[in-house]
Chains A and B, each alone.
Chain A
């Protein structure tokens, strides 16, 4: 309603950018999910949990770096907007 002139389908580049944003939104959700996993493990030594958390952490950072590179681009007028 607010953007009546939005096209229904997008060019390939803008489409990619939109999905990149979706991925950026999804990343913290995935992070929460993975960080909750150790809670379900049987209590025991902390070593494996520590390693697991650090690995998840490193992966989150890595993915965020990749996504940030793509999201950094200035928005083209046609791709402007929130989704």
Chain B
């Protein structure tokens, strides 16, 4: 098979994957998610459990250890078949808390502690780096198989650059589809659909090679079983310790591996998909394993003794001239490696950026929370993390030389990640699990794993001197890396798993039992352990009213969530029964917002950010206790009731006031009718009486003149009354014609004062004016305005009891409105009457003294309304005071 064709087809395959991923993203964006959301895709995406380690390594493992290779797939089978125990709860919690990674889950459970997030991230990176190196190595090896006549040709020139090219290509793919958007759910539909396709490719490839081997080379299943039965290789015996230990280890790994957690929990779109995966994923594993042993058997028989068993999936078809089959197998292996690296990198990059880079950045630049483009910052952090993770894998591969057997590296990674298991399971099933316990357990387990498995895996004298292997550090023989506490009889791998998990669990329990968790931890603990009890409790605990402005919060959320933030704020506001985009800062809202932000930033960072916006570095213990306790809730509830109560009382009072006024008005209306008849009758009676006397004749001339004058006066009074009434009704109907023009305020007042001086000309009365303030030109109806002024000044002359009466006219001009205050030095108007003086026929004193019909102020009010202003009684000025407010420039439309 020419190498060029291999490279070409590999290239075409990669382009195909890009297209698939792009298609997936597009479909997801357009909302057409039907197929993408199917449980089948979910199950297939889980198959990233089967990496190149499975594809190539399982055959090698099977050739070396026989049936033991199945433990790696039996563990996950048990976990999935028993999904009702753990996976269901994990997925539910993941969706409730919007968990973005396993580090986020642990950090969130133990009081949103970022320290724990960093610790888990560190463990994950350390454990995953060799694993990523392993994938790069397998791709390089498979290239090498094709490129040289010698299948194990290590010296091929392209070998060095292959890993670099593969890593570079993967970085591009992962950055393109893994950091496309920043979305609250941290789901990557493009990647999921691509790895689902790759899952099919690898299964088809392995089954094809297997079928070829079983029916083409071995002569049917029966013959294969006979051979397996007959085989008696060293290492094929079932070792109870390794059998049990590895099943347990792989069971732990399928939950804890960052990439498995990513597809299992984070990328899960529907909890019910888990039900399908519970049997379909074991079925996939079953199908992958079915042909491993036959391939290994036949490979051992037919291939030269120095053949690398890890590459038999490729070398067997090649040795029999099946180029196309080998090509398919190559693509299968390529798929396994790439899909694993992509998802692992996305998962690790999320953890790194959320728990290490962003908190560090926000710590160094706290003002960043409020400043520029946070979203871009997060995406940049993700991209840098992706390059960093792949770079680490590449560096490890280059430095280690990639010589170790594939299986060993995979198991070391499993054991490292399994250290998270006690904290994880303890966290979701035991409310007593505390942060101190989790940190102690993780540190102990990680250290033990490093000492007994990871560091020794580099070989004696590489990191740990051979002397330490034999005698222990500082001569402490009970600390020998492969014989802790003298347990030298154990298999080194099982020895490490056993001691690391045992010490880890012991430290976890001891720390949890002896420590006292802080309130956030206890709240989170309850929410995690009782995840199924009530969805409702989510909103119960969290933020109380704070000082953050809704706008500021929306601003922040928009920079992280983009458009989604607006929609979220709007729906929340509508749910609260408000219009617009700014909901009330209720605890439920803030909790939900924090969860959404946590989807992009991780729980600890989101918490810290909202805290910062609320003007406090951390939430105080007292705060949370107050929120958490039932008492606080009851208090809050009763406070709300109380505020409702006050509002009701206020409304009732307003109603009462309106009612009172209405009653008074009704009385006034009756009074108005009787008044008007009275007012009309009085002059009429005089006129009738005197005109009767005049018609009788025989009167001396002076008396006639006198009576005629009285009749004339009364007729005038009658006319005036009728004029007033007519005026009032015209004004009230708004049918008045305004005569707009420029007028000097001072002149208007002069005119008014002159006319008003006719009223009770006998009394001592002084008007105080500030002429400088009167230098204002108004655009208004001057005559009407003067009418108002006359009325107010005459009223003062009539009713002000002080002697001498003083009327002060104060003028103010502000923002296009002019106020003219008329304040006298009398007794003022009693409060209960103030509401009535502007009503028709309202006269406070007895009629004789007033001498008018009581229409003056009513007319004033109507005039001012027509002039676009008001006249009102100004209380609190000692004497009676009226304030006339009018616009500086009255536009015609307002008239």
| Chain A partners chain B | yes
Interface size class of B (residues with CB under 8 A): 35 or more
Q: Is the interface of A mostly helix, strand, loop or mixed?
A: helix
* A45 in contact with B84 (CB, 8 Å): no
Residue of B with least CB distance to A53: B70
Chain A residues lying within 8 Å of B247, measured Cβ to Cβ, are 32, 35
Map CB proximity to B onto A58-70 as digits: 1 under 8 Å, 0 otherwise: 1011111101110
Across the A-B interface, the 10 shortest Cβ-Cβ residue pairs: A28-B82, A47-B229, A45-B229, A64-B279, A65-B279, A24-B84, A68-B275, A72-B275, A64-B81, A47-B228
Interface size class of A (residues with CB under 8 A): 35 or more
**Cα of A43 to Cα of B225 in the assembled complex, Å:** 17
Chain A residues lying within 8 Å of B126, measured Cβ to Cβ, are none
**Cα of A60 to Cα of B74 in the assembled complex, Å:** 10
Chain B residues lying within 8 Å of A25, measured Cβ to Cβ, are 82, 84-85
**Cα of A69 to Cα of B67 in the assembled complex, Å:** 31
B226 CB–A CB distance under 8 Å: yes
Q: How many A-B residue pairs have CB under 8 A?
A: 105
Would you list which residues of chain B between 33 and 90 have a CB under 8 Å from chain A? 66-67, 70, 74, 77-85
Contact partner of B279 among A32, A47, A48, A68, CB < 8 A? A68
Chain B residues lying within 8 Å of A32, measured Cβ to Cβ, are 78, 247
Would you list which residues of chain A between 28 and 73 have a CB under 8 Å from chain B? 28-29, 31-32, 35-36, 38-39, 43, 45-51, 53-54, 57-58, 60-65, 67-69, 71-72
A12 CB–B CB distance under 8 Å: no
Residue of A with least CB distance to B243: A39
List 7 contacting pairs A-B, 8 Å CB cutoff, sorted by A: A28-B85, A38-B243, A45-B231, A46-B238, A48-B229, A57-B77, A67-B278
* A72 in contact with B70 (CB, 8 Å): no
Tell me how far the C-beta of A59 lies from the nearest C-beta in chain B, rounded to whole angstroms. 10
In the complex with contacts A47-B228, A68-B278, A60-B81 CB distance below 8 A: yes
With most chain A CB atoms within 10 A of its CB, the pick from B70, B81, B85 is B81
**B: which residues have CB within 8 A of A?**
66-67, 70, 74, 77-85, 225-226, 228-232, 236-238, 240, 243-244, 247, 272, 275-276, 278-280, 282-283, 286, 290, 293, 530, 532-533
**Cα of A27 to Cα of B77 in the assembled complex, Å:** 11
* B283 in contact with A61 (CB, 8 Å): yes
With most chain A CB atoms within 10 A of its CB, the pick from B70, B276, B279, B286 is B279
Tell me how far the C-beta of B792 lies from the nearest C-beta in chain A, rounded to whole angstroms. 73
Chain A residues lying within 8 Å of B228, measured Cβ to Cβ, are 45-47, 50
**Cα of A32 to Cα of B78 in the assembled complex, Å:** 7
In the complex with contacts A47-B228, A61-B282, A65-B279, A39-B238 CB distance below 8 A: yes
**A: which residues have CB within 8 A of B?**
2, 21, 24-25, 27-29, 31-32, 35-36, 38-39, 43, 45-51, 53-54, 57-58, 60-65, 67-69, 71-72, 81-82
Tell me how far the C-beta of B82 lies from the nearest C-beta in chain A, rounded to whole angstroms. 3
**Cα of A21 to Cα of B88 in the assembled complex, Å:** 12
With most chain B CB atoms within 10 A of its CB, the pick from A28, A46, A51, A71 is A46
* A24 in contact with B82 (CB, 8 Å): yes
**Cα of A49 to Cα of B238 in the assembled complex, Å:** 9
Residue of B with least CB distance to A81: B532
With most chain A CB atoms within 10 A of its CB, the pick from B230, B275, B282 is B275
**Cα of A61 to Cα of B244 in the assembled complex, Å:** 20
**Cα of A58 to Cα of B85 in the assembled complex, Å:** 21
In the complex with contacts A46-B67, A47-B225, A57-B282, A21-B84 CB distance below 8 A: yes
**Cα of A31 to Cα of B70 in the assembled complex, Å:** 14
* B82 in contact with A35 (CB, 8 Å): no
* B231 in contact with A46 (CB, 8 Å): yes
* A53 in contact with B290 (CB, 8 Å): no
Residue of A with least CB distance to B225: A47
Contact partner of A71 among B82, B84, B238, B286, CB < 8 A? B84
**Cα of A32 to Cα of B74 in the assembled complex, Å:** 9
Chain B residues lying within 8 Å of A81, measured Cβ to Cβ, are 532-533
Chain A residues lying within 8 Å of B83, measured Cβ to Cβ, are 24
Chain A residues lying within 8 Å of B66, measured Cβ to Cβ, are 46
Contact partner of A31 among B77, B230, B243, B532, CB < 8 A? B77
Tell me how far the C-beta of A34 lies from the nearest C-beta in chain B, rounded to whole angstroms. 10
Chain A residues lying within 8 Å of B77, measured Cβ to Cβ, are 31, 57, 60-61
Chain B residues lying within 8 Å of A50, measured Cβ to Cβ, are 67, 225, 228, 293
**Cα of A47 to Cα of B224 in the assembled complex, Å:** 9
* B225 in contact with A51 (CB, 8 Å): yes
**Cα of A1 to Cα of B500 in the assembled complex, Å:** 38
Contact partner of B275 among A38, A51, A61, A71, CB < 8 A? A71
Chain B residues lying within 8 Å of A39, measured Cβ to Cβ, are 238, 240, 243-244
* B81 in contact with A28 (CB, 8 Å): yes
* A53 in contact with B74 (CB, 8 Å): yes
Chain A residues lying within 8 Å of B244, measured Cβ to Cβ, are 36, 39
* A53 in contact with B243 (CB, 8 Å): no
Chain B residues lying within 8 Å of A21, measured Cβ to Cβ, are 84
**Cα of A25 to Cα of B588 in the assembled complex, Å:** 35
* A35 in contact with B532 (CB, 8 Å): no
Chain A residues lying within 8 Å of B279, measured Cβ to Cβ, are 61-62, 64-65, 68
With most chain A CB atoms within 10 A of its CB, the pick from B78, B231, B237, B244 is B78
* A28 in contact with B225 (CB, 8 Å): no
Residue of A with least CB distance to B89: A82
* B276 in contact with A68 (CB, 8 Å): yes
Residue of A with least CB distance to B280: A65
**Cα of A53 to Cα of B243 in the assembled complex, Å:** 12
Tell me how far the C-beta of B300 lies from the nearest C-beta in chain A, rounded to whole angstroms. 13
Tell me how far the C-beta of A16 lies from the nearest C-beta in chain B, rounded to whole angstroms. 15
* Extra pairs beyond A28-B85, A57-B286 (9, CB < 8 Å): A36-B243, A45-B228, A47-B225, A48-B229, A50-B293, A53-B74, A61-B282, A81-B532, A81-B533
**Cα of A45 to Cα of B225 in the assembled complex, Å:** 10
Chain B residues lying within 8 Å of A31, measured Cβ to Cβ, are 77-78, 81-82
* A45 in contact with B230 (CB, 8 Å): yes
Chain B residues lying within 8 Å of A36, measured Cβ to Cβ, are 243-244
Chain B residues lying within 8 Å of A45, measured Cβ to Cβ, are 228-232
Tell me how far the C-beta of A4 lies from the nearest C-beta in chain B, rounded to whole angstroms. 13
Residue of A with least CB distance to B273: A72
Chain A residues lying within 8 Å of B225, measured Cβ to Cβ, are 47, 50-51
Tell me how far the C-beta of B41 lies from the nearest C-beta in chain A, rounded to whole angstroms. 17
**Cα of A20 to Cα of B244 in the assembled complex, Å:** 28
